[in-house]
Amino acid sequence: MNHQQPRQATKMSASPPPVSGEGHMASRQRKLESMIRDPRSPVNVESLLDGLKSLVLDLDYPALRKNKNIDNFLNRYEKIVQKMRDLQMKVEDYDVVKVIGRGAFGEVQLVRHKTTQKAYAMKLLSKFEMLKRSDSAFFWEERDIMAFANSPWVVQLFSAFQDDRYLYMVMEYMPGGDLVNLMSNYDVPEKWAKFYTAEVVLALDAIHSMGLIHRDVKPDNMLLDKYGHLKLADFGTCMKMDDTGMVRCDTAVGTPDYISPEVLKSQGGDGYYGRECDWWSVGVFLFEMLVGDTPFYADSLVGTYSKIMDHKNSLHFPEDVEISRQAKDLICAFLTDRDVRLGRSGVEEIKSHLFFKNDQWDWNNIRDTAAPVVPELSSDIDSSNFDDIEDDKGEGETFPVPKAFVGNQLSFIGFTYFRENLLLSDFPELGKKVEPCKNNGTKKNELRKNEDGEELIQFQEKINKLEDQLRNEIQTKDDLEQKYRAINSRLEKIMKELDEETSSRKHLESSFRQLEREKALLQHKNAEYQRKAEHEADRKRNLENDVNSLKDQLEDMKKRNQNSQISNEKITQLQRQLDEANALLRTESDTAARLRKNQTESTKQIQQLEANNRDLQDKNCALENTKLRLEKEFLNLQSALESERRDRTHGSEIIHDLQGRVLNLEEEVKNGKITLAKMEAEKRQLQDKLTDLEKEKSNMEIDMTYKLKVMQQNLEQEEVEHKATKARLADKNKIYKSIEEAKSEAMKEMEKKLSEERTTKQKVENCLLEVEKRCSMLDCDLKQSQQKINELLKQKDKLSEDVENLTLKIEQETQKRCLIQNDFKMQTQQLNALKMSEKQLKQESNHLIEIKLSLEKQNNELRKERQDADGQMKEIQDQLEAEQYFSTLYKTQVRELKEECEEKAKLCKEIQQKIQELQEERDSLAAQLEITLTKADSEQLARSIAEEQYSDLEKEKIMKELEIKEMMARHKQELGEKDATIGSLEEANRTLTSDVANLANEKEELNNKLKEIQERLAHLNEEENDLGLLRTQFEKQLAYERTMKTQAVNKLAEVMNRKNPIQRGADTDVRRKEKENRKLHMELKTEREKLTQMMIKYQKEINEMQAQIAEESQIRIELQMALDSKDSDIEQLRCQLQTIHIGLDNSSICGPGEVETDDGFPGKICPSLFWKKRRHTTINDSIWGSYNWECRHPSVIKF
């Protein structure tokens, strides 16, 4: 519509603007459209709709409807806004599963969407409470962070909407609960604390990078998802940083145990701090995880705050808890002054701290690793990690009915948000255009009504059928999902079995290969030993021959040179050589014997290895059979799963089609409703025409009856006259023959008149028939309209019931109004009393004009101040009543908490008795733990064996490479030898063809051997590649084994660190109650401080007003006294005047000498009057000045 209006304007104008103007207008409209489409824009579609709804809600009150403009506005938009609210998202679209949290402004509910069946966490915020405590409500920041953060460390917001009482935020559900629940269930080791602290650091870095400070970092606001990883929530205390990375705030925001010293100093002063206040809270959180309690805990808030301010001396680590040096260093670096606090220069100095060094994860892949505790969930709405919260049966406070425009809803305009916003998106046009029928006939209108009614009935039937189909499809979809889950579970079991079988098979194959390698090595050693034995035997034979020859020589030498010395020397030399040869012979024989033993042992080992090889081959065959069977089952299940998926996709397609058809039908229903509205408008027009026609009919009937009566009278008169004339003519036929011709002419004229009257009568009758027909048609229309009027009457009855309910409410409001009016009457009576007193004062001071004016001014000022004071007093009384009510509430809550503490003490005694029984179970669990530890050791041994096998494979690879080199060298030697022999044979036996042929055959054989060796080399290369693949498989298996080990160790640690459930419940309840008690004490203290400040302020104002009233009353008393004294002075002056007049009269009677002797008389009066005037300075000088002048000049008085 916005694009059509400028075009229409250009068409209607006389001279169209140039094209550049149209382009400029189009660009402006595109900018406007982008502003409306942008979800971050303050004038987006949802904000505009919120503005219209808020305005209607704020104006829809009886007192404001008295204004004609407001009433016209509401009459125009009230129904449209109601229809709009029915079409938008509302609370009724969700089913509440459980309340999982409650706070000062509202509560958090676990809900399920009725259509999509998805689980969400929905946060409700009371508008009344947020406006009441507007200084501590930061709902805009929370909404913007969750909506636009797009960070894995922040809880996502899917939608936000509102009604007249609450704001609603639909967020992702975090089934793992908060870290308070984890710390209450487990004794957190330092390894876990390292993991969760690192995730908190990354989450806070994401918040700081958005230019915000959290200011309320605590375990309650750290939630765990279904994988056990952490996300931050509750951003109601976040504040935007300025350009320097600082914020300015004069109120202390946060939780007492986790608040930093600089934030605590900001209470009542000029708070100026940065993101380092969040790192303080991280230090407190790390201390609490490792120790079990916060570092600055005290029995009272004052004690906690004093410890926080004196943190250098009050921070102590308990001796009974083992904490590493790096952890202590990190905590001390966090819990220090803000100028030197860790993280002030950036998050990188935190990441580089030694506390976070480990082998399992780093800062980039921490979210991809397995968490220390993965929550065990039974379904998507499992809320076992959240505490049970009782339902709040009390109704929340609502906005009172205003007497003037207040604008309670204006603060929340633009809060509505949808992550998948479908408004203003380019949808294809659905539905058909209805062409209105332009026929004025009543029969066609009736036919059109009947057709529209039939179409509506058909549409309704189609909608019902489609709804039934949709329900059936949803049911089938649920059944398919159940089957899909069952098949998935079965498939997972089979996959686990298959994985176990494959792992065992791999293990057997690896042992089989190892045995084969050992066999090959032993065969190689055996061959080496045989070669060495043969070599040693040859040496032994040579040595024996040498010994025999030497013996022969010695005998010869003995025979020849028995007597010579030279022969003796030779004999000794030969004897030595003989001894050496004998020693060598002995050593060689020993080595030969040793080699024979080794050979026999190696043969035995080979036999054993062959037996083991046979067993392994049998096992391998069995495993292959089981593998084939499992693969067949796996393929069958995959086919079944694929068919289920196809059915599911087909079902989803059908549902999508049905939804499209439902949308089409809804569009058709909308079009039908539009046509119905048009038909109702036409019906109203027809009813108006019908009433007009009825009036015309009645008028026509009256006219016709009147005309008929007149004509009948004329006819009767004419007939009478005709009969009389006939009689007269019969009687006087003879006498009046001459007049017959005239009479006949007159008769003809009369007959003409009669025929004309008859024709007119027939015309009137025809008109009457037509009117009756029209009346019958209108009667049918009347009956139909009466039926519709009856339906409208029924609706009217319903509306009257609603009106009665509203009247009851109005009566209640009138009762309240009467009470207020009674109070107002009391105040007016007091005011009337004051006015009466003022009137009396006015009557008394009428004769003094200037005093009267000043008193009236003063009284008017006093009256205004008194009214202001009364209003302030009333507000103070209301606030005092509210504070008394809250104080009584707090007292009752404290009393209830004391009773609960006593009950908890009793429970603790019972728990201590049960602990003794549970210790035996703990011993049994310890025994089971030992068994599991032994299993873990066996797994460790298996892993070490696998690693040794890997090292053996590496050795074998090296051995194979060496063997290949040796074979290549041998092959080269053999080739050289063969070439030499071939050459010699060719040179020697060229003539012998047979020898050449033999040599050619030998050459071919050698070539074949070469090919075989090359094939062996290729086979060895393939084996080497297989070894590489096996290596990668082993590495993957090792990684899998490591992850399984970490999971098993984490599970064992989880079991070991799990606390006693009864003691855990008692401890968590006591800690929760203590925290709630401390929160309540803090709130009570702040409220008391506010109340005392208000009391002091209002007491000062009351004292000032009382002082002013006292001064005014003193002034009034003085004025009254002055008036009384003036009255007495006036009376005295009158008396003196009378005496003066008498004296003057006497002087006029006496002579001139007497008058001169009486000159002193006025002189005696004037000084007294003068001094009286000085004593009463408030009297106007103009009254008495002339008289004093006359008194001082007695000559003027003489006449």
pLDDT tens digit sequence for 853-869: 766 677 777 777 777 77
Average pLDDT rounded to a whole number, residues 980-997? 67
Q: What confidence tens digit (pLDDT) does each residue in 187-226 have? A: 889 999 999 999 999 999 999 999 999 999 999 999 999 9
pLDDT band for position 431 (cuts 50, 70, 90): very low
Q: Are 694 and 777 in contact (CB under 8 A)?
A: no
Give CA separation, 525 vs 519, 532, 598, 953, in Å. 10, 10, 9, 18
State how far the Cα of 856 lies from the Cα of 859, in Å rounded to an integer. 5
Buried residues in 328-343 as b, exposed as e (16+ CB within 10 A)? eebbbbbbbebeebbb
Count of alpha carbons within 13 Å of 365, Cβ hemisphere only? 7
- Mapping DSSP to helix (H, G, I), strand (E, B) and coil, where does residue 362 land? coil
- Residue 179 one-letter amino acid: L
DSSP per residue, 142-165: HHHHHHH---TTB--EEEEEE-SS
Check pLDDT > 70 for residue 834. yes
User: What is the C-alpha to C-alpha distance for residues 477 and 474, in angstroms, rounded to an integer?
Assistant: 5
Q: Select from 300, 258, 299 the least CA-distant residue to 277.
A: 258
Per the annotation, binding residues for ATP are: 123
The model's pLDDT over 71-109, given as tens digits with 9 standing for 90+, comes to: 999 999 999 999 998 998 999 999 999 999 888 788 999
Alpha helices in 189-229 (DSSP H): 190-209
In sequence order, what are the residues at sequence separation of 6 or more whose Cβ sits closer than 8 angstroms to the Cβ of residue 525? 598, 602
Match 């057709």 to its residue by tokens. 451
Nearest CA to 211 among 148, 266, 259, 275?
Answer: 275
- The closest of 67, 57, 28 to 49, measured between CA atoms, is 57
Most confident by average pLDDT, 236-250, 1003-1017, 1066-1080: 236-250
Count of CB atoms within 10 A of residue 1023's CB? 13
Per residue in 1118-1138, pLDDT (tens digit) is: 887 888 787 788 888 878 888
- Tell me the C-alpha distance between 1067 and 184, whole Å: 7
What is the predicted pLDDT for the residue at 5? 38
Cα–Cα distances (Å) from 1152 to 1145, 1149, 1155, in that order, read 13, 10, 5
Helix/strand number for the chain, H first, E second: 25, 12
Most confident listed range (371-380, 811-820, 836-845): 371-380
- pLDDT of 27 > 50? The answer is yes
The answer on pLDDT for 637 being more than 90 is no
The residue whose two tokens read 């010395």 is 565
pLDDT for 281-312, tens place per residue? 999 999 999 998 999 998 888 899 999 999 99
DSSP class of residue 1058 equals: B
| 559/364: higher pLDDT | 364
Is residue 1083 predicted with pLDDT exceeding 60? yes
Cα separation, 254 vs 557, in Å, equals: 118
Q: Are 1078 and 256 in contact (CB under 8 A)?
A: yes
DSSP 24-46: HHHHHHHHHHHHHH-TTSTTSHH
Q: What is the pLDDT of residues 125-137, one digit of tens each?
A: 999 888 887 765 6
Q: Show Cβ contacts of residue 1037 under 8 Å, excluding neighbours closer than 6 positions.
A: 503, 506, 946
Q: Which long-range contacts (CB under 8 A, 24 or more apart) does 685-688 make?
A: 686/442, 686/445, 686/781, 687/781, 687/785
Helical packing angle, 301-309 and 1061-1149, nearest 10°: 100
The answer to whether 541 and 533 are in contact (CB under 8 A) is: no
- The first and second tokens of residue 643, run together, are 């068919």
The residue among 1053 and 333 whose pLDDT is bigger is 333
Contact indicator for 651, 476 with CB cutoff of 8 Å: yes
pLDDT of residue 855: 65
Compute the average pLDDT of residues 634-663.
Answer: 73
Q: How far is CA 821 from CA 817, 824, 949, 1117, 1196, in A?
A: 6, 5, 97, 35, 67
Please state the separation of Cα 609 from the chain's center in Å.
Answer: 67
Helix (H, G, I), strand (E, B) or coil at 1141: helix
Residue whose pair of structure tokens reads 């009057």 in the numeric block: 1169
Please, are residues 913 and 1063 in contact by the beta-carbon 8 Å criterion?
no
CB neighbour class for 175 (10 Å; exposed up to 12, middle 13-18, buried from 19): buried
The pLDDT assigned to 742 comes to 63
Nearest of 1199, 1072, 1066, 1079 to residue 1140 by alpha carbon: 1199
Enumerate the H helices of 88-237 as residue ranges: 127-132, 139-148, 179-185, 190-209
Higher pLDDT, 844 or 381: 381
**Average of per-residue pLDDT values in the chain:** 76
Alpha-carbon distance of 1131 to 819, in angstroms, equals: 53
Distances (CA, A) of 860 to 926, 1104, 1122: 89, 18, 22
Asked whether the predicted pLDDT for residue 387 surpasses 80, the reply is yes
pLDDT over 70 (residue 1063) = no
Torsion-angle region of 268 (φ positive above 0: left; ψ -120 to 50: alpha; else: beta): left
- Secondary structure E strands in 513-656: none
The residue that leads in pLDDT, 1111 or 965, is: 1111
Residue 1066 scores a pLDDT above 60: no
| CA-closest candidate to residue 1062, choices 292, 294, 377, 185 | 185
Note whether 355 and 327 are within 8 A (CB).
yes
Which of 38-52, 784-798, 1144-1158 is predicted least confidently?
Answer: 1144-1158
CB atoms within 10 A of CB 157: 22
Most confidently predicted of 134-148, 180-194, 808-822, 893-907 = 180-194
Backbone phi and psi for residue 168, each to the nearest 5 degrees, phi listed first: -125, 130
Query: Tell me, what's the pLDDT at 984?
Result: 67
Specify the higher pLDDT residue, 128 or 895. Answer: 128
How confident is the model over 391-425, as pLDDT tens digits? 776 666 788 888 889 888 898 998 999 887 667 65
What's the CA gap between 35 and 534, in Å, rounded? Answer: 99
E strands, 938-1089, are none
Which two three-digit tokens encode residue 575? 């004897």
Q: How far apart are CA 746 and CA 725, in angstroms?
A: 11
Query: For the chain, how big is the Rg over CA atoms in Å?
Result: 58
Q: CA angle 717-720-725, nearest 5°?
A: 120
Residue 257: CB atoms within 10 A of its CB come to 22
Binning pLDDT at 50, 70 and 90, where does residue 1169 land?
Answer: very low
* Cα 1179 from Cα 845, distance rounded (Å): 12
Question: Binding site: which residues?
Answer: 123
Lowest mean pLDDT among 16-25, 582-591, 717-726, 1004-1013: 16-25
d(CA 543, CA 852): 160
Other CB atoms closer than 10 Å to residue 125's CB: what's the count?
23
What is the CA 580 to chain-centroid distance, rounded?
A: 98
Q: For residue 849, name the pLDDT band (cuts at 50, 70, 90).
A: low
From the list 144, 178, 205, 216, the catalytic residue is 216
**pLDDT given at position 39:** 81
Of the candidates 1170, 1168, 1163, the one whose C-alpha atom is nearest the C-alpha of residue 1197 is 1163
CB-CB contact of 586 with 530 (8 Å): no
Specify the pLDDT at position 755: 75
Q: Map tokens 């939608």 to a residue.
A: 159
What whole-number percentage of the chain has pLDDT above 70?
A: 76
DSSP 220: G
Query: Is 952 among the catalytic positions?
Result: no
Query: Looking at residue 752, what is its pLDDT?
Result: 77
Count of alpha carbons within 13 angstroms of residue 1159, beta-carbon side: 8
Q: Interior CA angle at 749 toward 743 and 755, to 5°? A: 135
Q: What does the pLDDT read at residue 284?
A: 96
With CA atoms as reference, report the closest residue to 165 among 219, 217, 91.
Answer: 91
Across 43-57, 652-666, 1002-1016, 1087-1101, the highest mean pLDDT is recorded for 43-57
Q: Where residue 561 falls among pLDDT bands split at 50, 70, 90?
A: low
pLDDT of 538: 79
Question: Considering only CA atoms, which of 314, 376, 385, 333 is closest in space to residue 197?
Answer: 333
